[in-house]
Amino acid sequence: MTAKRRPPKSKKSRRESVAERARRARTLYTRLQREYPDAHCELDYRTPFELLVATILSAQCTDARVNLVTPAFFHRFPTARALAGADPAEVEDLIRSTGFFRNKTKSLIGMARALDRDHGGLVPANMAALRALPGVGRKTANVILGNAFGINEGITVDTHVTRLAGRLGLTRQRDPLRIETDLMALYPRPRWTMLSHLLIWHGRRVCAARRPRCASCTVSDICPSAFRVR
């Protein structure tokens, strides 16, 4: 009697296990760190106050444009107290080219007044106090804590990190806070700030929103989206 042949197994891809995703996440970090050994925050600043101002200005604007604006801004308003008493029209004129200048002016002056009133003009080094400042959300607070104070409280999730975390299969989430939670579970705390820099640098230089350069990507062989995005 002839044995019946079993139907061929489905070619549907197997879901990646938690352990496999963790191993791939470590490999991604190692390769990106090797590719970008000098990765860092690309906003120019000398003090926590300057970084806070620059980060608020960077919303919907490139770091390069912000870096063109801030030298004159910091010369005119070097401290929180100076900015707290600023004429809004003057601030608007200085930051106009960064876009959304009226809303940013309101946030900057409000932030400076809160710093001068509640913190002696100094930028606080904790999440709750930072988020209480006008114009400061969790993303901005993560930037300040990680870069100005060396505190890994969370992971900065901007448009580049959102895009790459999804393409690289590190998360299926779209909400920034949920993306941050998934990434924090994959990487040890000491790597959180640098992880953001590595993903941002790779997003700006290789993994663009349109037409990513997969052929020259250092992680294309372990990227589930490689050569699929057009």
Contact of 146 with 152, CB cutoff 8 Å: yes
Q: Which distant-in-sequence residues (6+ apart) come within 8 Å of 143 by Cβ?
A: 41, 51, 55, 156
For residue 12, indicate whether it is catalytic: no
Rounded distance between C-alpha atoms, residue 202 and residue 226, angstroms: 14
Catalytic residue among 104, 116, 139, 182: 139
Structure tokens at 182: 């998934």
| CA–CA distance, 143 with 156 (Å, rounded to integer) | 6
Could you give the CA distance from residue 74 to residue 111 in angstroms, rounded to a whole number?
Answer: 15
State how far the Cα of 205 lies from the Cα of 194, in Å rounded to an integer.
16
DSSP 8-class letter at 15: P
Instruction: List the structure tokens of 15.
Output: 């879901």
Give the three-state DSSP class for 81.
Answer: helix
Q: Which amino acid is at 215?
A: A
Structural tokens at position 103 = 């809303």
Among 44, 63, 106, 158, the active-site one is 158
Asked about 158 being catalytic, the answer comes back as yes
Active site residues: 139, 158
